[in-house]
Amino acid sequence: MDLFELITPCHFGLEAMMKREITDLGYDITAVEDGKVTFAGDAEAIAYANIFLRTTERVLLKVGEFKATTFDELFEKTKALPWERFIPQHGKFWVAKANSVKSKLFSPSDIQSIMKKAMVERLKEKYKVDWFPEDQESYPVRVSILKDRVTVCLDTTGVSLHKRGYRQNTTKAPITETLAAALLMLTPWKGDRILVDPFCGSGTFCIEAAMMAANMAPGMHRSFLAESWKHLIPEKCWKDAREDAEDRVDLSVKTNIQGYDLDEEAVRFARENAKLAGVDHLIHFQQRSVAELSHPGKYGFIVTNPPYGERLEEKKDLPALYETLGGRTFGKLGTWSLYVITAYEDAERYMGRKATKNRKIYNGMMKTYFYQYPGPKPPKKKKEQEEM
C-alpha cells in the first residue's frame, strides 16, 4: 500500500497524549507541532486512526504543502498538487475550512474560492472534461496557513471524532469526549483504580474512563467519510480494523468509577449516555453534592470539570464550591489524587492549596487550566514485589 502523511489535530498542550496514542498503534511520528501531530501511514492506518484514536478531532490526509504569499501563487501551487490521485471524476470536492495565522493571505473566503478554482482547473486537464457533476463521494479539503506556509489536506473523518455516538443528552458547558480522554491520559489513573467525578454533568469523564478500562475503541460504532473512498482505502481495511477493535473489548473488567451531580436531570442524562456507550454496568451515577463526597477506598482519583461561572450570577457561588472541593472533600481523602480542569482563575486560591502541576489548555477559544494534585503512589502488590 502507498504511504500517506496523516495529520491529527488536538487541543493545544495535549500533543504528547496524541503522540503516545499514535506510537501505541505502531505508526512512526514525523512531526509534532502546536495543536497537531503528523505520522506516516498507509490506507489501513487511516481506518485504525479514525477508529482507535481517543484524543484527536479528525484524521487528515495531507495532499501537499507549499509557501504562498500572493493569491496567484496560491492558485498555481494548488493547481500543481496531484488532485487526480485522490478525487475521482464524479467526486464532490470543496474547501470546507481555511484558517490563516501570521500570513499575508488571511481571507478564508478568498482562500477557499481560489483553491477550489485551482482544483477544478487541474482536474479538467486530467479528466479531459469541462464540467464536473460532483454527484458521488465527498472530498472536503481543509487548509491551514501558518507564516505563509500552506498545508492542504483531505478530511477523512467527516463528523468530528469527539462525537462517539453515545452523548445524545448534554448539560450546560459539557467537556468534549476527546478532551476528557486526553486529560484522563495525563493522570496516572488506570482502569483498576477508583475514579470519581463529583460534577459529572452528562457523564463524559466517567464514560471515557469506562471505555478505556474496557479497552473499547472510541470510533468502533460510528461511520467515517473516507469509508466511501474505495479507490484509496479498500473496504477490507475498515472491516479488519473494526474486527480488531471488537476483539480487544473486555466488558467483564472490574471497575470502581462513580459520577455524582447535584442536578437530577444531569444524572439521568449521564446514565442514558453510559447505556448508549455500552458501559453503564461499569459506572455508578448518583445525585449527590460535592460536599457529600466520601469514599472508603484509598489511592483513588477525583477527575472533574467543576462550574466556573459562565453566567455572572453564578460567580458568587464559586468560592464556596471550590473551598468545598479542595478542603472539605479532597482534604479528607488523604491518599487520593485530584485533577481539576477549569477556567476559574481563582480555583487554586479557594481550593486552599497550590497545584503540584498546572497545565494551560485551550478548550476551543477558552483558556482553561488543568490543576494537578497527585497523591502518594499505592504500595506495590505482593505479586509484583515477588517478581522483582
Half-sphere exposure of 58 (CA within 13 A, CB side): 17
Compute the average pLDDT of residues 36-52.
98
Both 70 and 33 in one domain: the answer is: yes
Does pLDDT of 386 surpass 60? Answer: no
Is the residue at 104 inside a domain?
yes
Q: Rounded distance, CA 11 to CA 55, Å?
A: 8
Is the same domain home to 194 and 285? yes
Tell me whether residue 169 is in a domain.
no
- Residue 100 CA to residue 112 CA, distance in Å, equals 11
Q: Let me know if residue 236 belongs to a domain.
A: no
Question: Do 208 and 129 share a structural domain?
Answer: no
- pLDDT, residue 387, reads 41
Domain assignment of residue 388, yes or no = no
Do 333 and 198 share a structural domain? yes
Is the CB of residue 192 less than 8 Å from the CB of residue 301? no
What CATH number does residue 340 fall under? 3.40.50.150
Structural domains counted in the chain: 2
197-243 confidence digits (pLDDT tens): 999 999 999 999 999 999 999 999 999 999 999 999 999 999 999 99
Mean pLDDT of 262-286: 96
Neighbours of 297 (CB within 10 A): 12
Report how far residue 205's alpha carbon sits from residue 270's, in angstroms, rounded to the nearest whole number.
10
Q: What is the pLDDT of residue 60?
A: 98
pTM of the model: 0.94
What is the spatial distance between Cα 291 and Cα 41, in angstroms, rounded to a whole number?
A: 49
Question: Each residue of 307-332: pLDDT tens digit?
Answer: 887 655 578 889 999 999 998 899 89
Which residues, listed in sequence order, are joined to residue 154 by a DSSP beta bridge? 61, 141
**254 in the same domain as 189:** yes
Locate 252 and state its grid cell: 467483564
The answer on 359 and 270 residing in a single domain is: yes
Q: Are residues 112 and 28 in the same domain?
A: yes
Q: Residues 330, 186: one domain? A: yes
Judge if 146 and 255 occupy the same domain: no
Residue-level pLDDT at 362: 83
Average pLDDT for residues 136-155, to the nearest whole number? 98
Residue 383 has pLDDT above 80, yes or no: no
Q: Verify that 29 and 81 share a domain, yes or no.
A: yes
Give the Cβ contact number of residue 200 at 10 Å: 28
Is residue 9 situated within a structural domain?
yes
Query: Does 166 map to a domain?
Result: no
CATH of the domain at 119: 3.30.2130.30
Q: Could you tell me if residue 27 is left (phi over 0), alpha (psi between -120 and 50 degrees) or otherwise beta? A: beta
Interval 304-308 mean pLDDT = 92
Question: Do 199 and 128 share a structural domain?
Answer: no
The answer to whether residue 227 is domain-embedded is: no
Q: What is the mean pLDDT of the chain?
A: 94
Q: Is residue 382 part of a domain?
A: no
Sheet holding 357-363, edge to edge: 283-287, 256-261, 194-197, 301-304, 337-342, 366-373, 357-363
Contact status, residue 45 vs residue 27, Cβ threshold 8 Å? yes
pLDDT in the model for residue 384: 46
Assess whether 83 and 185 both reside in one domain.
no
pLDDT at position 98 is 98
Side-chain half-sphere CA neighbours of 362 within 13 A:
10
Contact status, residue 272 vs residue 168, Cβ threshold 8 Å: yes
pLDDT score, position 199: 95
Parent domain of 210: 177-215+249-377
Q: Which of residues 78 and 172 earns the better pLDDT score?
A: 78
Q: Tens digit of pLDDT for each residue in 2-17?
A: 899 999 999 888 999 9
- Give the model's confidence band at 335: pLDDT under 50 very low, under 70 low, under 90 confident, else very high: very high
Q: Are strands 283-287 and 366-373 parallel, antiparallel or unpaired?
A: unpaired
